[in-house]
Amino acid sequence: MSTEAAAESALERSWWLRAPAVLVAPQAVFVALRDDSEEATQARQEPVMLIAGLAGIAGVLATSTFRRALNDGSVTMTLVAVLAFIAGSLYALSFYWVGGGLLYRASRRLGSEGAHRRPRGARLDDRARPGGRRARVGTPRARGAGSDCLEALTQ
């Protein structure tokens, strides 16, 4: 095994160990999420999607529709489990991408210069626009000041 493969394997293993830690020590996990390198992103994508999927399934199971299905004796638990998995996965996937996109746009609107990976899932990157130009965004005070503050913020 090469050194690069061993380092990647260790990074993936560390993210699988961090995934349950988000329940007991979320601050350390969120600090580790700030690493925007390609290797770190690849290593954490499966554990993060697992957490999002489980949260989606839990969210779907908490609805009144599933509560009625669980209390109804004519509905099998196998059917409830399959429907919870499918609906929860769709719920998690849509919230993961749409919520991430909205969070990214809102943070950019408020002056953040962070990468598009921070809200994770935001594929609405400004550089993906035709022409590949970034939006000129700054704080409201910098936009209204008429000075070079806006240029300093966007470069």
pTM for the whole thing? 0.61
pLDDT digits (tens, 9 = 90+) for 14-30: 888 888 888 888 888 88
Long-range contacts of 39-45 (CB under 8 A, 24+ apart): 39/7, 39/8, 39/11, 40/11, 41/117, 42/8, 43/8, 43/11, 43/12, 43/14, 43/15, 44/15, 44/18
Give the pLDDT confidence score for residue 138 in this predicted structure: 42
Sign, CA torsion 44/49/54/58:
positive
Q: Which of 75-79, 95-99, 138-142 has the lowest mean pLDDT?
A: 138-142
At 103-141, the pLDDT tens digits run 888 888 888 776 655 554 433 333 343 444 444 444 444
* Exposure b/e, 10-38, CB count within 10 A at least 16 = b: ebbeebeebbeebeeeeeebeeebeeeee
% of residues, the chain, pLDDT over 70: 70
pLDDT single digits (tens) 39-75: 888 888 888 888 889 999 999 999 999 999 888 889 8
